[in-house]
A and B are shown apart, each in its own frame.
Chain A
Amino acid sequence: MNSYPISIRPFGIHAILLEWPGRVDVAILEDILQFTQYLKECCLKGEEWEIVPAYNSVTLIYREEPIDFDQLKIKLLNWYQEDIKVVKREKILWRLPVCYDEDFGIDLKEISEKSGKSVDEIVKLHTTHIYNVFGIGFLPGFTYLGGVPKALEFDRRAEPRSKVVKGSVGLAGKQTGIYPQDSPGGWNIIGNCSVPMFDPKAKEPCFISVGDQVQFYKITKAEYNLHKIESEVGIYKLEKIILDA
């Protein structure tokens, strides 16, 4: 840690915003997550803080009472400077099944024409890259996945759709992501992921965390339908790979 110049600013009376240099960079995200883990384990222990990391920032929220900003800022800077040894964060790679059938990938044809690449090439590009979870927000369980190859960078659709169905996998600029529920949206939809991204009834309502990695793999429509049934009866097993830190 302590390798970046960080800025600390108040965000209302209940929150404090820590910002790292303004880049989308896995090393920065990693530094943020190491630091927030240290905060949770050693500094803010037992206190009801909510910690929201996203890209190059982390927001600490203490809803009970107002924060003494000046005092906390000094403490945070000191904690960041400390030469600390934290337990290495477990790196998790989730392998998520996506059906790129044209029934689901409603924009595949259009972006294939735009890019001059075949649908198969697009699917291959999308599934060979590994994405980093830079943030979770917008909707419960919506992950901002970064690391999209240049050839898959497409602008958002000019007119957002009033309804994008649950599970839709989309592309927008440098990002890809999965719609955890039916919602309006302007991303280019290329497929559908059969695994529910957010389940309020589950012990862990959203299995993915910021800092995890995601890789998609292609499944057929029959496999998609099977996964759906398995998920409904609770026997679907997620593919989780723990990577060496």
Chain B
Amino acid sequence: MLKVLKSGLFTSVQDIGRYGYLNKGVPVAGYMDGFSAKKVNQLLDNNIDAAVLEITMTGPTLFFEEETYISMGGALLSATLNNEPVNNYEVIKVEKGDILSYGKLEKGFRNYLAVKGGFKTPMVLGSRSFFSSVTKKNHLVDGDELEYDACSLFEPKISKIIVDSFLDEKELKVTKGPEFKNLSDRQLEMLFGKKFSISNENNRMAYKLEEKIVGLTNSMITSATLPGTVQLTPSGKLIILMKDGQTTGGYPRILQLSDRAISVLAQKKYGDEVKFKLN
């Protein structure tokens, strides 16, 4: 068991996501930053669908009741194991009784913690990813316990990787969304000509951007939306749907973020800037 001594701001269990229920209105969910989450699983030689912890901004304090191996990645949150600093993207041996805690946010927004074999929390509709209307909870609270298999010996293929400036990236690579053709030259100029900052309305469902462009007023018949879909509202506000985002929508879908761009955006917080780049 992994005992949650302090839960942090918003810590949840996430895996690759929930497949097969989009036509019933169930979002994909899963880790927001797949780029980082996949790397921490790879380091431990975990399956692609192994569940990790997604740790947002203020990290938790965690007590390991069994020995195992862990790896962390994504945001830099000054993590320590028994008060000794530990690094991202390294395989770390953890003994029974060890305490992992997180400190100050230095860079990025979400950190991923993988454990050898993945967390064995309940599977609901084919995924362990927390999502409020499907799973019992949407984030961990103090005192929660998460199951994992003890592991005393593991020979990692690679014990450490260097990840480049991913957290510093500002450019969101996009392709044209279904309603891109409805944009005027002026709208295009605004969309690609300026930087946008992340508003305080950002969560696992969507990121709203602060600056407006000219809105699109012609109404549209409700149709499917995806994680990474950029919607333009009549007021000119841009909304970028994320992993818990609704599966259908009625606002024009002007751009679609690449998988990598979704990961880049997932590491941004209130006030950070991004720029769209058409691929």
Contact = CB atoms under 8 A, between A and B. Distances in A.
A144 B23 CA distance: 12
Contact of A54 (B26, B134, B224): B224
Interface in A135-174: 135-142, 144
Interface of B: 17, 19-28, 124-125, 133-135, 175-178, 221-226, 228-229, 246-249, 253, 256-259
A55 B222 contact: yes
A54 B225 CA distance: 11
Interface residues of A, number: 42
A105 interface: no
Tell me the dominant secondary structure on chain A's binding face: loop
A22 B224 CA distance: 14
B22 A142 contact: no
Contacts of A135: 222, 248
A11 interface: yes
B125 A205 contact: yes
Tell me the dominant secondary structure on chain B's binding face: loop
Interface stretch (A45-53, A116-124, A219-227): A45-53
B222 A136 contact: no
B175 A137 contact: no
A210 B23 contact: yes
A54 B222 contact: yes
A13 B221 contact: no
Nearest to A11: B178
B221 A24 contact: yes
B242 to A, nearest CB: 14
Contacts of A134: 222
Interface of A: 9-15, 17, 19, 22, 24, 48, 50-59, 61, 63, 134-142, 144, 180-181, 198, 200, 205-206, 209-210
A206 B21 CA distance: 9
Contacts of B23: 50-53, 136, 209-210
A11 B256 contact: yes
23 contacts: A10-B176, A12-B229, A12-B258, A15-B224, A52-B23, A56-B223, A57-B224, A59-B226, A136-B23, A136-B248, A138-B25, A138-B247, A138-B248, A139-B246, A140-B27, A140-B133, A141-B25, A144-B248, A180-B25, A181-B133, A198-B133, A200-B135, A206-B24
Given A11-B256, A57-B223, 14 more contacts: A12-B226, A15-B224, A50-B22, A54-B222, A56-B223, A57-B224, A58-B224, A61-B224, A61-B226, A135-B222, A137-B224, A137-B247, A141-B24, A141-B25
A206 B175 contact: no
Nearest to A56: B221
Given A56-B221, A57-B224, A198-B133, A136 B19 contact: no
Nearest to B136: A200
A180 B133 contact: yes
